[in-house]
Each structure stands twice: as structure tokens, then as C-alpha cells.
Structure 1
């Protein structure tokens, strides 16, 4: 039974190639990188609505969706608004779009972008107020004060987009979770190796060809490494816990700093009919948005609550899921969340689900690689994951199901249940 009274579908969209931080796409910002992508998708079909998002704040705009649409020189009568939910941003846009279908909205373009190479530099609240007040009283003095700002007056991205409340990065938090769930360095490196091998193989056999547009600066993802190996991964030093001797998260088993944009479609039956023939699509059966207290649970462990609850609501077990597309913020995060949902006592006592979900099949997870290899531009990851899952599901028999799962800063997560029509 679906959450929705009428069928809702997610169709595969397009994305840019994902670039390495400081690399080929670093001259863009989130709007300018979104423009060619939105133009390419609009050439397939004009949507009734655009929902777009980015995570890293920028004072140059307040509604990236509308700014992107207008910069793309597309029909100004198409409305557009923005969403943000950390790494789940463009998946949340999908859920929002699903709830807005009908009443003349049959086809919505959703997605997001992030240029992590160019985080804005801001002033602290105190410095900003001091200068603003001074400009109102004495503009000349205010201009002089600008030249005397000190390091402590700036908000600099020196901590890798750390959580505001804890002041710690995602990797700092994930180190704690990896230790709590006894996720070994070897297991993390092994999963990272699989992610690289699968994403490289996906590009080589053409899986990504109709999912990614080519940009003048970049034709394919820059992060997947065909030359990685167990030995190379094992040689890397921990990057978050460097002092205890127990750190296990490295640059090799963590998602890299990445620039990119991605989109997908949300439609009813009339909207699907407007897409190009042969576009892969899947029915969105249900979704779950979950949250945990990250003072007592792992910051990125919310999917381990959402997945069991979503499955139990539909009386499904792990064996009923033909495909798992799990966002790889870190290899340890994937391993820890699966460790939790396969711990029957934990599922009962913590997630509050009494069902026996059965045995988990790792061979069904991320068959074309994930964020550790492909990259993780925050605002784009949800749409990338969904498009990738829909295309993978399209090659399976009718009735096959997929779970798409994303963890997000703030102790939150989103999970979607898809079904091949």
C-alpha cells in the first residue's frame, strides 16, 4: 500500500560529472553549475515546478531554484523554490514534490548542487553588527574598519563544515560511531575499494552515459580511481583521529570534497508521459524522515531508525529489497548503519520495530559505486542516488523494490522505498 492516493513516480534525471575539490569545476558556483544541467533537463521536458537546493550558505542569493531557472533563460512562468536538509537536500526536494502533485502540477524537476571548492567567507555576527552600525553612522570610518578586521572576525571553513552545536566535523563524529560499532579499518577500506571498482566499471560499460551531461571542463567523474588497491588504501593515515592510535577514517574510505549538480523528476502518470520515451522511472511507494539525538547516538545513524520502520510499515524484510542504494558519506557510516539494522535486539529496543527483518544481502548494495568513489556534493547527492537507483531498478523485473538511504548532518536521515512498475 502506497503513502499516496494516486501513483507517484521518480524518474531518472541528469547530473554533471562530479569534480574533485579544487579541480575542473572549481570556477563555478552552485547557481552557474546548476544552469547547464537544468537546461539539459528542460530540453527533455518543461516541468510545471522546480525544487532545487544547496547546503553551503551564500549571501549572493536566497532562492537558488529561482535564480538558476532564470539564469538558464527558461520559461519565467514556471515557479521555483528551494529546500535544504544537509546531505538529504535533493531527496527532501523529491518528497516535497511528491506531495505537491495534482492541480496542474504533473511534472516537477528536483535536484541540487554544491561547489565545495568555493565556500564563502563570512563575518561573525559581532563583526557584522559592528560594521553595519558604523556604516549607518560614519561610512568613511566603516570602510577604514574593514581594513583592520582580524582573523577572529571571520567565519572560515577551517573545520570542514562542522556541526554548529558540537563544533566537530562529520568525520570526527563518525570516528566515534566506528569505534562504538567496532567497524574495523580493514572493513572500511574493503568497502571503499568496492565503491571505486564498481563506479569505474559503471563508467567503462556505459552505465552513466545517459545519466551525466558533459561539461567543457569535465566529461566524466574525476574522483573514482581505477588504480586504487588494498595496499594503497591501507597506506593512508587517519585524517580525523590522528592522535589516539585508534583512528580508522582516511581520505581513501571517506567521501571526498566534491563539486557537482544533479537532478531527477517527480511525476504522476500524466507527467511521466511527457518525458522522453524510455526514461527509467520507479514508483515512490513511501518514505521516511528520521532523526536521532546525536549527543547519545551517532550523528549519521538516523537511517538505521528509518529503514526498519519503513520496511515494517509495509511488512517487508531485507530479502524483499532487490536493490540498496546507500549514500556513502563514509564507508564506516554504511557499515555502521547496516550493522544496526541487522542487530535484531537493537532494532527492537532502539528503532522500536518488532519485526524480524531476516538476512541482509551485501551483494545488492550500490552496484555502480557510491559517494566514497563518485563524490558527495551535499545538495546533489540525493538526486544522484535516486537517478542511479531508478536506472538500476529499471533493468530488474516488474515489482522489484529498492531502498535509497541518505544520512544527514544534525542527526537526521531520509529513506525512500521505490518499486519497478
Structure 2
């Protein structure tokens, strides 16, 4: 069991409220498809440009643009700043990169929100971008070391000797879809957790089908009209399958955990490799009023956790199960005190395992150090407008998508009921990490 002291909320200690004003993303595309020739910079610039157009920010100096990418080429060393310079924002807008695997976009929002709450920033764009179509392919270490030795050589004789080694040194390093510490992919790690927790195939397929159906319905009613800007001929996420059903998904063969038997995870209940970019606009209430931009919601708090998935008992993608109870305790809330739950659907099995863990008295006591289970949620409030299984999952871009999407959901619900509303975000990430947050309206 991992333990740590519970920090009390600082909301009453002079922190300003952080407004979420909306966001923008480009439609997400399956890898090697519509965005096969688009770079990280192309896509992030497009997302920022769409936000600048939507919120009338042309020539505006924001206090920060915070974003990142998981897969970066060497030319992406100053990715976010270069994307800002290619956008309509003022070139006096400072920007920096941040990376925390799949939690990048949400962590960028947490960092930006903290800056606003403390009075350091008035306005922030936070998000991320990723492409697996334009993945970094690097020289192998032998070739790189030889070329560096040639550069350092003091005489031509030494240089010629080193040049003679080049044919043998030729080689490239292609990115591998595996955890450096285990060699297993996210999917294989998730399959281990799914088997250990006996997550059923039928439940995974039902969650996946519902995600597609709910997102398709949200598109049809215009929910995404002010959250997405077209890019390279795409107007909708091309992974979306409006006619997806449990019956169709049941015909797919498992692709993860096959070696161990009783495999349940398929291409249909797992997210595909995806390209895309997103940003969310956060600000102080004063800045929003000055720019005549309505506040959709407020970014209340965030919490990040990590687990020992190498030598410990935890699954790679189960860190949010640790982060959420800390977040709840700090804010005096229970798991049931939410109108919406946005749990990132990296794999349907991970969402179901997470919910099962919070319902388990043994898990909550032995792993989380709690006296009682967090309990069950009302699943009709889960990912109500679809999530990653439908949209796709460009690693660093998912957090920005969820923040903007949840903020709009909250604003709509509050307008409908006239009552305060609250949403919980949970994003699992590579490296055994998890990023979570609370939004309110």
C-alpha cells in the first residue's frame, strides 16, 4: 500500500477561481490516414488557430500556451512556441512544452490553472498533440556514436578510420509500443489487469458501443460545433462508428492477452493509434469578462498519482484509482458527488477495472488505505457524449479534448436545471501514472 499525507485544499487561501471558457481541437484521425503527412506542429498550430478564431484572439497576447507531445521529432524541440508563432496569437505570447504521456493535456491544464489561481497568469491555452503517422525514426546508437566521434576527431587519419566503420554502424531505432521497464505494450498491461480483475468481454464491448453511439448523437445534435475546427478535409473524428453495436464488436478476435488465454481485449474495445491536437482556454474571471467570453465552468483542482507496476501489485494504468481519493479528500467530496464522470477510455477494460477497484472494499483498504470503498457511480453519468473509444486517442491531445468537452457538458446541464453541477476527469497514462481533475459550473 502506498501512503502519503492528505493535503488540504487551498481554495480558501486566496486562490482565484479559474474559468474554463471552452476550447478547440481538430477532428482526430486514425494513424496513417487523413493526417499521414501532417506534423505535430501542423496540427497543434491548427488547434491553436481554431481557438484564436473562435474566441477572437487574433493579435492577443496570452500569458501562456502550455502543451506537449509524447512522440516528438528532433525538430519539435520547441514545439509549442513554434506553433504559437504560426498562429494568429501575438508573437509576444510565451509558450512551453510539457510531457506526461497520455496525461499531458490534462497536466498542462493543471499547470495553467495553478498559474491563474495564484495570479501569475490571466489567460492560458493548455493542451497537446500527437501523431503516430509521423513517428520519430532515429539513427541507431552505433551510427550516432560514430558520427559524433568523427566530429570530435582532431586529424584526417582518425576521421578516415572512423568513416570506415560507417557501413557496419548503419541502423535505425524505430519507436516501440512498449513500456521501457517491461517491454510490454499498454494493451498487454491492460490485458493483465483485465484478467486479474475478471473484466468481462461483454461489458467491454457494451462500453465501446455506447461510446460510439453517444458521440455520434452528440455530433448530430451540434454539441461539437463550437469545440472542433475542420482540418485537412476532416469535419468529424474518422474513428467514429455511429452504427457500432455489441453484436458487431462481438465478432472481433482478441488482440491483447492472447498468449495467456481467456483474452477479452479487441481492436473494437481498445483505442486505435490516432493523430490529432487539442487546446482548452482557461482564464481568470476578470479576463473572461474583459474579453466578453462566457464562462462555461471552473477548474477546481487536480491530482496526479503514480503506481509501482514493475515490482508492485498495481496495473500499469491504475494510477487514477489512487489519485481520485486524494482529490476527493482534499475537496471534501465523495465519488457520488458528481453529475458527470469523464474517464478516459484508453481501453474499455481499464475504465471497468477502475470502477471495480473503487467499488471493492479490499482494493480500497489494501491499496488505497481507505476505511471503506469509494463506492459505485451512476453509470448513466459516465462519458455522456462519448470518449476516446469513439474519438480516438492522440496521446497528449486527449486531456484538452476532455477538459473542453466536460466544461460544455456542465454549462449545458446548469442551464437546463439551474443548479450547480460538477464533473470528475480521470486519465490513465504510461509509466504507471494517472492525472485527475474536478470541474464545476
Q: TM-score range by the shorter chain?
A: over 0.9
- Is 1:20 equivalent to 2:35 in the alignment? no
1: CA distance, partners of 2:301 / 2:401: 19
Aligned to 1:311: 328
Aligned to 2:264: 248
- The correspondence for 1:86, drawn from 51, 76, 101, is 101
1: CA distance, partners of 2:244 / 2:18: 40
- Is 1:36 equivalent to 2:54 in the alignment? no
Aligned to 1:260: 276
Moved more, 362-371 or 222-231: 222-231
- Is 1:408 equivalent to 2:425 in the alignment? no
Q: Secondary structure at the match of 2:74?
A: coil
- The correspondence for 1:230, drawn from 208, 230, 246, is 246
Question: Does the CA-based 8 Å contact 2:358-2:375 persist in structure 1?
Answer: no
Aligned to 2:359: 342
Aligned to 1:187: 203
- Residue 358 of structure 1 and its aligned partner are, at CA, apart by 4.2
Question: Does the CA-based 8 Å contact 1:301-1:337 persist in structure 2?
Answer: yes
**TM-score of the pair, normalised by structure 2:** 0.89
1: CA distance, partners of 2:344 / 2:50: 25
| RMSD, matched Cα | 2.1
Moved more, 205-214 or 350-359: 350-359
Alpha-carbon spacing, 1:194–1:146, altered in 2? closer, same or farther (3 Å) = farther
- Residue 131 of structure 1 and its aligned partner are, at CA, apart by 2.4
Question: Does the CA-based 8 Å contact 1:262-1:380 persist in structure 2?
Answer: yes
- The correspondence for 2:182, drawn from 146, 156, 166, is 166
1:372-383 correspondence to structure 2 within 5 Å? 372-383=389-400
- Residue 313 of structure 1 and its aligned partner are, at CA, apart by 2.5
1: CA distance, partners of 2:293 / 2:151: 58
Question: Does the CA-based 8 Å contact 1:131-1:145 persist in structure 2?
Answer: no
2: CA distance, partners of 1:406 / 1:363: 19
Alpha-carbon spacing, 1:141–1:249, altered in 2? closer, same or farther (3 Å) = farther
2: CA distance, partners of 1:98 / 1:155: 37
2: CA distance, partners of 1:274 / 1:250: 49
- Residue 247 of structure 1 and its aligned partner are, at CA, apart by 1.5
- Residue 276 of structure 1 and its aligned partner are, at CA, apart by 5.0
Describe the superposition over 1:53-101 as per-residue Cα deviations: whole angstroms up to 9, x where unpaired.
1111211131211111112264221111110000010111111112222
- Is 1:177 equivalent to 2:173 in the alignment? no
2: CA distance, partners of 1:29 / 1:142: 34
- Is 1:97 equivalent to 2:107 in the alignment? no
- Count of matched residue pairs: 415
Any runs of at least 4 consecutive aligned residues in structure 1 with deviations exceeding 4 A, and if so which? 138-150
2: CA distance, partners of 1:36 / 1:88: 21
| Structure 2 residues not aligned, in runs of 5+ | 1-7
Question: Does the CA-based 8 Å contact 2:296-2:411 persist in structure 1?
Answer: yes
Alpha-carbon spacing, 1:73–1:367, altered in 2? closer, same or farther (3 Å) = closer
Moved more, 169-178 or 306-315: 306-315
Q: Secondary structure at the match of 1:11?
A: strand
- The correspondence for 2:173, drawn from 134, 155, 161, is 155
| Structure 1 residues not aligned, in runs of 5+ | none
Aligned to 1:388: 405
- Residue 110 of structure 1 and its aligned partner are, at CA, apart by 1.0
Aligned to 1:3: 10
Question: Does the CA-based 8 Å contact 1:3-1:286 persist in structure 2?
Answer: no
Alpha-carbon spacing, 1:167–1:353, altered in 2? closer, same or farther (3 Å) = same
- Is 1:302 equivalent to 2:288 in the alignment? no
Question: Does the CA-based 8 Å contact 1:309-1:353 persist in structure 2?
Answer: no
